Amino acid sequence: MSAATETAPLGTAPARNAVGRSVRDSLVVAKRNLIRMMRIPEVVIFGLVQPIMFVVLFTYVFGGSVNVPGAPAGSAQAYREFLMAGIFAQTVTFATAGAGAGIADDMHKGLIDRFRSLPMSRGAVLTGRTLADLVQTALTLVVLAAVALLIGWRSHENVLKVLGGFALLLLLGYAFSWIGALIGLSVRTPEAATSGGLIWLFPLTFISNAFVPVNGMPPFLQHIAEWNPFSTTVQAARQLFGNTIEGIPSSVTGAWPMEHPVIASALWSLLVIVVFRTLAVRKYRSATA
């Protein structure tokens, strides 16, 4: 009896130690990448310039010409509130290219081989990198939100809902960073990773409800747009920010994700994390075997 009592905890100890070590290793790698980002501030600065340019260009160039259903013709304020959730979502997803390029650069310089020689969890290298990218994305969102407020964007919900909207955006960005990690491990150069990380993002973000209402698209594109995880997160953010517009229906095809965007957004992001983290870690192990 006493022998069984003593050996039971020992059986679970290795599993607990493995999980604990993986978490510690991931945080160490994340810290390394954050220090690297601080030592190269131009990377962060240039990462901020593009989304700010998108905000200014879409607001002042297209804001007066895009008619938002249910709003006065040429209403710039209505378009600002419609637009900003899409810009926020585009910003967090475009960080995917940077994540892929960073991992490809580490592979190209042989840094991954050095990590491999250390007694550390294999998955920690990728997890640490994606966590560091998540911190950078959060910083970018804070600055972008401040710029949006300066040009007239406003939320109409309480603080908790607004924070929930930003949390879903960051979850989407973290999920897509695993796609970037897989791309970075699958190519030979950082340049290829950057191109590979962007080429699929353009149709994903533009065949969506981010910049124009879906009801103006051809019927077959409406179905694609409303089952697009990017569109779902944009709709969830609009709902939580209080930026939905009465003249624009939540769904024109009856798609479930658009009728329940908050739940669907979380489910889409978690599914992407599970699938692409598994593929990325498997690719990492085969690439360094």
Q: Is residue 210 in some structural domain?
A: yes
- The pLDDT of residue 75 is 62
- The pLDDT of residue 4 is 47
Q: Is residue 10 in some structural domain?
A: no
**pLDDT above 70 as % of the chain:** 87
Q: Is residue 19 in some structural domain?
A: no
DSSP 91: H
Q: Is residue 39 in some structural domain?
A: no
Judge whether 89 and 210 are in contact, CB under 8 Å.
Answer: yes
Q: Is residue 166 in some structural domain?
A: yes
The list of the chain residues with pLDDT below 50 reads: 1-8, 10-11
How many domains, the chain? Answer: 1
Q: What is the end-to-end Cα distance of the chain in Å, rounded?
A: 44
- Helix axis angle for 76-109 and 122-150, nearest 10°, is 150
Domain that holds residue 205: 52-110+141-287
For 7-62, the pLDDT digits (tens) are: 445 445 555 576 777 788 888 888 888 887 777 777 777 777 888 888 888 777 77
DSSP 64: T
- The pLDDT of residue 246 is 79
Q: What is the pTM of this model?
A: 0.86
Q: Is residue 12 in some structural domain?
A: no
In the block, residue with structure tokens 């810290």 = 31
Q: Which residues of 157-182 are buried (b: 16+ CB within 10 A; e: fewer)?
A: eeeeebebbbebbbbbbbbbbbbbbb
Query: Judging by beta carbons within 10 Å of its beta carbon (0-12, 13-18, 19+), is residue 288 exposed, middle or buried?
Result: middle
- The pLDDT of residue 173 is 94
Q: Is residue 26 in some structural domain?
A: no
E-strand stretches of the chain: none
Q: Is residue 125 in some structural domain?
A: no
